[in-house]
Amino acid sequence: MLILDEQILLNQLAQGIVSASEGDAWFQAHNEDGRRRLLLRLTALILQASPRQEDAAVAISEAGLKQTLTPSVLITKPDLKVQLAKLVRLPKSELPQVFKLLIKLLAVADGRRRRNKPLDLVNHWWHRDLSDPKIVNDIKRTKGS
Averaged confidence pLDDT in the chain: 90
Q: Give pLDDT tens digits for 48-89.
A: 899 999 999 999 999 999 999 999 999 999 999 999 999 999
Residue 90 included in any domain = yes
Contacts of 97 (CB under 8 A, 6+ apart): 63, 65, 69, 71
What is the distance between the alpha carbons of residues 123 and 119, in angstroms, rounded to a whole number? 9
What is the distance between the alpha carbons of residues 74 and 82, in angstroms, rounded to a whole number? 9
Instruction: Identify the residue with better confidence: 145 or 33.
Output: 33
pLDDT band at 29 (very low <50, low <70, confident <90, very high): very high
Residue 9 included in any domain = yes
Q: Is the pLDDT of residue 136 over 80?
A: yes
Which of 49, 35, 27 is closest to 87 using CA atoms?
A: 35
Residue 40 included in any domain = yes
pLDDT band at 123 (very low <50, low <70, confident <90, very high): low
Q: How many CB atoms lie within 10 A of CB 86?
A: 14
Q: Is the pLDDT of residue 122 over 70?
A: no
Amino acid at 100: K
Check residue 145 and give its pLDDT.
Answer: 47
Residue 88 included in any domain = yes
| pTM score, whole prediction | 0.87
Find the mean pLDDT for residues 98-102: 98
Which of 139, 105, 111, 106 is closest to 124 using CA atoms?
A: 139
Q: How many CB atoms lie within 10 A of CB 63?
A: 23
Residue 145 included in any domain = no
3 burial via Cβ count (<10 Å: 0-12, 13-18, 19+): exposed
Find the mean pLDDT for residues 14-26: 95
Residue 62 included in any domain = yes
Tell me which residue range forms the domain holding 80: 4-139
DSSP one-letter string for 33-88: HHHHHHHHHHHHHHHHT---TTHHHHHHHHHT--TTSHHHHHHTSS-HHHHHHHHH
Residue 21 included in any domain = yes
How many domains does one find in the chain?
1
Instruction: Identify the residue with better confidence: 20 or 119.
Output: 20
Residue 92 included in any domain = yes
Q: Is the Cβ–Cβ distance between 10 and 40 less than 8 Å? A: no
